[in-house]
Chains A and B, each alone.
Chain A
Amino acid sequence: MNFIAADYGTMVLLLILVAASLAMYFIKDLLHAVVVFGAYSLTMALLWLQMNTPDLAITEAASGICMTVLMMIVILRTSRKGE
């Protein structure tokens, strides 16, 4: 098995991806889980960049990191007020 240097970078990013997605399942506090989801999206954007698709990396950075996290935080705040 011959790996070039870029493959090791991809492997490390994939391991971080698995760790982040498992952590999202086990974390109890919802706000902390949303922050971990932001880290998951950042890793995914770097992974798209590693695989030569900067187009998807821009979309992932805009929609995954900023939009989804902002929406989740606003939803958490409004739903906690009602309880």
Chain B
Amino acid sequence: MKDFILKHIAAIILPFICIYGFYVILHGHISPGGSFAGGIIVGLSFIAFITIYGSRKGHAQMPDKVLVFMESYGTLWYGIMGMIGIFKGVPFLANKLAGVNLGAPWALSSGGLISLIGIGVGIRVTSTIITLFFTMMEDES
């Protein structure tokens, strides 16, 4: 696509969309939204980049190695956070039972392991959506 206005407006807007996605992920435990919705918003900023600038520049920005790394280690991070409960002798994904400090209510640091789990899920959803879009875009052409 050779649209001058579209490219320059997108260069201004897309970083803010990405930052808003990170905001939704990190505030998932105290406000509406969460890791899934935030991950989709972060992925959407990259999808819009790929749609406007073409898939070759998109691959330069997001190589397949990085996508595979994000997808597998996001899932592994979820598993590690769940195993903390088992190492303490309480069920899988236990939060207060495992002795985690929950903090003051409505503070950003409250919630114990939930915000840490949300980061892993957000990374995983982002990479899954970008991989899905690359597969659909390049299968026919």
A residues contacting B by CB (< 8 A) are: 54-55, 57-59, 62-63, 66-67, 70-71, 74-75, 78-79, 81-82
21 contacts between A and B (CB under 8 A): A54-B32, A55-B33, A55-B37, A58-B24, A58-B32, A58-B37, A62-B37, A62-B40, A63-B40, A67-B40, A67-B44, A67-B47, A70-B47, A70-B51, A71-B136, A74-B51, A74-B137, A75-B136, A79-B140, A81-B140, A82-B141
Give how many A-B residue pairs fall within 8 Å (CB-CB): 49
B residues contacting A by CB (< 8 A) are: 24, 32-34, 36-37, 40-41, 43-44, 47-48, 51, 129, 132-133, 136-137, 139-141
Q: Does B133 lie within 8 Å of A71, measured CB to CB?
A: yes
Nearest Cβ in chain A — how far from B99, in angstroms? 29
Within the assembled complex, what's the spacing in Å between the Cα atoms of A11 and B140? 42
Q: Does A78 lie within 8 Å of B33, measured CB to CB?
A: no
Minimum CB distance partner of A62 in chain B:
B40
Contacts of A75 in B (CB 8 A): 136
Nearest Cβ in chain A — how far from B79, in angstroms? 24
Nearest Cβ in chain B — how far from A65, in angstroms? 10
Q: Which of B44, B132, B141 contacts A81 (CB 8 A)?
A: B141
Nearest Cβ in chain A — how far from B41, in angstroms? 5
Within the assembled complex, what's the spacing in Å between the Cα atoms of A79 and B139? 10
Q: Does B48 lie within 8 Å of A70, measured CB to CB?
A: yes
Contacts of A79 in B (CB 8 A): 140
Minimum CB distance partner of A55 in chain B:
B32
Q: Which of B33, B129, B132 contacts A58 (CB 8 A)?
A: B33
Contacts of B32 in A (CB 8 A): 54-55, 57-58
Contacts of B37 in A (CB 8 A): 55, 58-59, 62-63
